Amino acid sequence: MMNSMYGKSILNLTELTKEEFLSIIELAVAIKADPEAYRGVLAGKILAMIFEKNSTRTRVSFEAGIIQLGGQAIVLDSKSTQMGRGEPVKDTAKVMSSYVDGIMIRTYSDQIVAELAKEASIPVINGLTDDHHPCQILADFQTIYEQKGKLEGIKLTYIGDGNNMAHSFLIGGSLVGMDISIATPKGYEPKAEFVELAKKNAKVSGSIIEIVNDPDQAAKNADVLVTDVWASMGDESEQKEREVIFKEFQINNRLSVQAKKDYLFLHCLPAHRGEEVSVDIIDGTHSAIYEEAANRLHAQKALMVKLMANL
């Protein structure tokens, strides 16, 4: 069977069917189990990586991943490219399409990524934008699948800011039949368009989507508890203000008793211990943050194989 994902761009997970999403997770698990079997799958392929936002895990996991698959990466800081001097995205997309086999971009504006994908003739991967973080969700769902043995019917509770992680959990979870409960302070809910999209998906997949302002209510019977920093990249100026507003939205021992006894704790990192999560939770027995971070490598290798290898 021909690979239906070859040449696709991944901007926010809406490009994937449920079957395609699950096939990435299955391939990620297979690559993790036997990396040598996939060693030369992307031989001769080049991934251009454009960074407008700081990065540790995205940068290292994508670069290591393409090298391990037999390809190479060219890392570009947007400030050192002509894009940083105002070259139209269209021109960058068309020129880079003749040089490399894929583009991964980590930036602020979703509009830039969408335009890049529209104008490029090669796959474009969103490595993080203000509204979406699809690659993190692939790694998170791989971790949940490995720990819980399934995705469908799992209840994932996200507590904190209704940011790009919240949006991506809504889209990914509703696609695969995972119940998603999100608790934020009033005024910090996820964007309505992504909540509506998730509810539409949920009608097909049978999942339950819940947006509330009460963390205890959201955490009830959760299989997975997740959080993120209270002030995302670009919102750092609001840090002090948010520390007050989000005070009751910390994942700690008091809150975690609402979840199932064998709940899993995830965090995309970097974390602020003592703010969005207490030290004893993030460094405790329920936490899988390092396995989750390690799975960025395997999930992204699977994604690159699907998009860049016509198997």
- pLDDT of 238 over the 90 cut: no
The pLDDT of residue 73 is 97
Q: Which fold has domain 18-133+295-308?
A: Rossmann fold (3.40.50)
> Can 18-133+295-308 and 136-292 be said to share one CATH topology?
yes
Please give the Cα distance from 291 to 286 (Å, whole number).
Answer: 12
- pLDDT of 1 over the 60 cut: no
The 10 Å CB-count burial string (b at 16+, else e) for 152-179 is: eebbbbbbbbbbbbbbbbbbbbbbbbbb
Strand order in the sheet with 124-128: 72-77, 46-51, 102-106, 124-128
As given in the structure block, the two tokens for residue 61 are: 């996991």
Please give the Cα distance from 157 to 259 (Å, whole number).
Answer: 9
Dump pLDDT digits (tens) for 20-42. 999 999 999 999 999 999 999 99
| Number of residues that this document lists for the chain | 311
From the list 80, 102, 78, the residue with the least C-alpha distance to 89 is 78
Neighbours of 80 (CB within 10 A): 10
Global pTM value: 0.95
CB 107 within 8 A of CB 53: yes
Please give the Cα distance from 46 to 58 (Å, whole number).
Answer: 16
Which of the two residues, 291 and 89, has the higher pLDDT score? 291
What share of the chain in percent tops pLDDT 70?
97
Residues 6+ apart with CB under 8 A from 298: 28, 29, 31, 32, 139, 142
CB 288 within 8 A of CB 266: yes
Please give the Cα distance from 208 to 180 (Å, whole number).
Answer: 6
Dump pLDDT digits (tens) for 162-176. 999 999 999 999 999
Mean pLDDT of the chain: 95
Neighbours of 87 (CB within 10 A): 12
**Based on C-alpha coordinates, what's the Rg of the chain?**
19
| DSSP notation for 260-282 | -TT-EEEE-S---BTTTB-HHHH
Which of the two residues, 231 and 17, has the higher pLDDT score? 17
Q: 136-292 has which CATH code?
A: 3.40.50.1370
Annotated binding site: 55-58, 82, 106, 133-136, 164, 228, 232-233, 268-269, 296
Q: Looking at the annotation, which residues are catalytic?
A: 106, 133, 136, 228, 268, 296
- pLDDT of 185 over the 80 cut: yes
The pLDDT of residue 52 is 87
Distance set, CA 26 to CA 80, 89, 136, 301 (Å): 37, 34, 16, 12
Dump pLDDT digits (tens) for 58-91. 999 999 999 999 999 999 986 767 666 678 999 9
As given in the structure block, the two tokens for residue 19 are: 């079957």
Annotated binding site for carbamoyl phosphate: 55-58, 82, 106, 133-136, 268-269, 296
Q: Where are the domains of the chain?
A: 18-133+295-308, 136-292
Please give the Cα distance from 48 to 78 (Å, whole number).
Answer: 11
Annotated binding site for L-ornithine: 164, 228, 232-233
Dump pLDDT digits (tens) for 98-149. 999 999 999 999 999 999 999 999 999 999 999 999 999 999 999 999 999 9
Judged by DSSP in three states, 259 sits in coil
Please give the Cα distance from 93 to 101 (Å, whole number).
Answer: 12
